[in-house]
Amino acid sequence: MNTTDARSHPGLSGAPPRWYGHGLNRGASYRAAAIVAAALPRPARLRLAGGVARLLRWAFAGERAVVGANVGRILPHATPPARAALVDDVFRHFAMCFSDLITANRDGRPERLLADVEGEHHLAAIARDGRGAIVLTAHLGNWELAGRLMALRMGRPTHVVVAPEADPRVERFLRGGPAPVRFVPRDEPRAALPLVAALRRGEIVAMQGDRALGTRGDVGVRFFDAEAAFPLGPFFLARASGVPVVPAFCVLGRDRRYTVRVGEPLRIEADGEQAALERWVGTLERTVRAHPEQWFNFYDVWSPVAAR
């Protein structure tokens, strides 16, 4: 894949991207949803979540248009009715994953939702080496739940790097309760230094790898036959710490349980960060193609500024 450094690519540098926000992303909305969800058994709760997604779909016409355009890049030969059905599936799966997150986040038992871990031998090999690892995921499936599941599975201190929420009440709701992980705000000053130390102690750092940060560390990579910006930072962190990058995704199955899919670890050679990024983007592309209904990006990923 061809890449372009942000410093020489118009539009990849400049103001940090805003990605996406909406009026329901408020603490009161999360609390209300959690109260309703906690009162229902899970099958009924998931049905309700899907029904709410169908009910609200026309209130998010702009988001539906963007998701439809994304779907068109992923499946360019799909018929218009098939694309429209897939857009509905994206919103339905997002609602179900959100429902599971807000309930599992409060009861502290996310492992009961786990069906399987594919590629667990990769985790076992890292455990035998006694080395740390960067677990790299994306906004696909239940990524917030994935960090908790991986921490429980690997049995090591786990640090999850997160973007701060616009509403502090949402931050407290999602990350203020008991959890088997330590949340690290991405804009925390000098956050990379303790992460390097943690990785060298054999601990785990979980990060997102599918959204550009609007910094000089963004790189343009071919993604579904068009250039999109991706962050290079996780790979610099891995090389500085001497640890591998492990792709992992938490996908909702037809049985309504989650499977964590762990890919082959990426070893970062000297000056090999960009090559490793390209391999990661290839893995992400294959996973999105396999599960387009669970890729939750409600903005134009291929926009030059990756957000507007």
Mean pLDDT of 91-120: 83
**Residue 103 pLDDT:** 81
Q: Which residue has the higher pLDDT, 32 or 96?
A: 96
Q: What is the identity of the amino acid at 94?
A: F
Question: Is residue 144 predicted with pLDDT exceeding 50?
Answer: yes
**Residue 6 pLDDT:** 36
**Residue 164 pLDDT:** 66
> Residues with Cβ < 8 Å from 58, sequence gap 6 or more?
none
**Residue 101 pLDDT:** 83
pTM for the structure as a whole: 0.84
**Radius of gyration, CA atoms only, the chain:** 19
Evaluated on CA atoms 184, 192, 2, 246, the torsion sign reads negative
Q: Give the residue from 47, 176, 168 showing the smallest Cα distance to 102.
A: 176
Which pLDDT band, with edges at 50, 70 and 90, does 5 fall under?
very low
Q: Are 173 and 37 in contact (CB under 8 A)?
A: no
DSSP characters over 17-59: P-----TT-SHHHHHHHHHHHHTS-HHHHHHHHHHHHHHHGGG
What distance in Å separates the CA atoms of residue 9 and residue 198, rounded to the nearest whole number? Answer: 34
Q: Give the residue from 186, 233, 230, 226 showing the smallest Cα distance to 210.
A: 230
